[in-house]
């Protein structure tokens, strides 16, 4: 029987993945521009520091910057709360508690939100990893195979790439996905929610992710547990065989649609 492990949201994970094949398939089927990476939480700093070829920050960063160092530069980076610029970053990944001061929203009132009440409502709306279990976090390119496996995978893509990815995820065992948008601190919508719930989570990266994390203007972010990737790739392959693939060829806004539709649907009408 295949062994499994439990991630922070208690979802079962297969013990081994062929990351080279998985990433190769994703790149071939979606033509990704940004390196798919993994994120993993550790209960102790000592355990975290056993990660092969681990880099530790020499400066204070946002979590967005740490994620970008893996996704844009191919580094394997480990952090604790002390490496992060403030509680807004550390709370999302469970390295600092969502205490009364943080939940009050006073730091962002008048900056991102009109009133203290609005700012506090935003803080309460964020999906965060419960504090108390984890001491550190590591991000690393999936093809490096250093996280064995990560708790979640982070995949950046254009809206076109993202909808095809979601279509592949929905090919078998269909489920309607519903996601929210907290606005600023949208990392709570992606890695915060995925780490907390174990469910696939798409976000519109926020101002901070784009300013500090190098996220491109046309990129969305999928945060997803590794166990979903094999079924998604199988779905992408089946869709591609039906002519539903990325890049999506423009058909023409004034053309008779029947010929194009017939390619996919044939005589099913």
CA distance 42 to 137: 6
- Does 259 map to a domain? no
What was the pLDDT predicted at 6?
A: 45
- Does 143 map to a domain? yes
Residue 164: count of CB within 10 angstroms of its CB: 23
**Structure confidence by residue, pLDDT tens digits, 123-154:** 999 999 999 999 999 999 999 999 989 999 99
- Does 117 map to a domain? yes
H-run or E-run covering 119: helix 116-125
- Does 173 map to a domain? yes
**Structure confidence by residue, pLDDT tens digits, 240-253:** 999 999 999 999 99
CA distance 107 to 269: 58
What percentage of the chain has pLDDT greater than the value 90? 90
**Structure confidence by residue, pLDDT tens digits, 152-177:** 999 999 999 999 999 999 999 999 99
SS3 149: coil
What percentage of the chain has pLDDT greater than the value 70? 93
In this predicted model, which residue has the larger pLDDT, 267 or 6?
267
Tokens of 210: 């784009």
What was the pLDDT predicted at 16?
A: 86
* Sign, CA torsion 137/140/144/145: positive
- Does 153 map to a domain? yes
User: What is the pLDDT confidence band of residue 260, given thresholds at 50, 70 and 90?
Assistant: confident
- Does 150 map to a domain? yes
What was the pLDDT predicted at 13?
A: 53
**Structure confidence by residue, pLDDT tens digits, 167-213:** 999 999 999 999 999 999 999 999 999 999 999 999 999 999 999 99
In this predicted model, which residue has the larger pLDDT, 2 or 215?
215
Give 202's contacts (C-beta < 8 A, 6+ positions apart): 162, 166, 177, 179, 189, 190, 220, 221, 222, 223
**Domain extent at residue 33:** 4-246
What was the pLDDT predicted at 203?
A: 98
Domains: count for the chain: 1
The structure tokens 């990325």 sit at 246
- Does 54 map to a domain? yes
User: What is the pLDDT confidence band of residue 263, given thresholds at 50, 70 and 90?
Assistant: confident
Residue 266 has pLDDT above 50, yes or no: yes
SS3 letters across 3-39: CEEECCCCCEEECCCCHHHHHHHHHHHHCCCCCCEEE
- Does 263 map to a domain? no
What was the pLDDT predicted at 269?
A: 55
H-run or E-run covering 47: helix 45-48
């Amino acid at each position: 029987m295949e062994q499994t492990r439990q991630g922070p949201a208690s979802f079962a994970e297969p013990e081994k993945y062929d990351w080279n094949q998985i990433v190769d398939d994703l790149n071939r089927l979606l033509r990704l521009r940004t390196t798919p990476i993994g994120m993993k939480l550790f209960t102790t700093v000592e355990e975290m520091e056993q990660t092969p070829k681990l880099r530790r920050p020499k400066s204070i960063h946002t979590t967005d910057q740490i994620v970008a160092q893996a996704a844009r530069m191919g580094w394997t980076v480990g952090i604790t709360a002390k490496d992060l610029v403030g509680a807004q970053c550390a709370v999302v990944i469970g390295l600092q508690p969502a205490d009364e001061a943080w939940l009050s929203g006073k730091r962002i009132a008048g900056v991102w939100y009109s009133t203290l009440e609005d700012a506090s409502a935003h803080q309460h709306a964020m999906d965060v990893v419960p504090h108390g279990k984890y001491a550190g976090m590591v991000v690393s390119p999936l093809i490096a195979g250093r996280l064995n496996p990560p708790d979640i995978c982070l995949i950046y893509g254009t809206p076109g790439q993202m909808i095809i990815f979601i279509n592949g995820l929905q090919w078998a065992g269909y489920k309607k996905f519903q996601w929210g948008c907290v606005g600023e601190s949208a990392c709570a919508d992606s890695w915060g929610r995925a780490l907390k719930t174990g469910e696939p989570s798409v976000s519109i990266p926020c101002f901070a992710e784009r300013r500090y994390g190098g996220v491109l203007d046309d990129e969305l972010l999928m945060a997803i547990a590794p166990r979903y990737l094999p079924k998604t790739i199988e779905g992408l392959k089946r869709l591609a065989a039906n002519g539903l693939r990325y890049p999506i060829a423009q058909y023409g806004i004034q053309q008779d649609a029947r010929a194009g539709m017939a390619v996919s649907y044939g005589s099913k009408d």
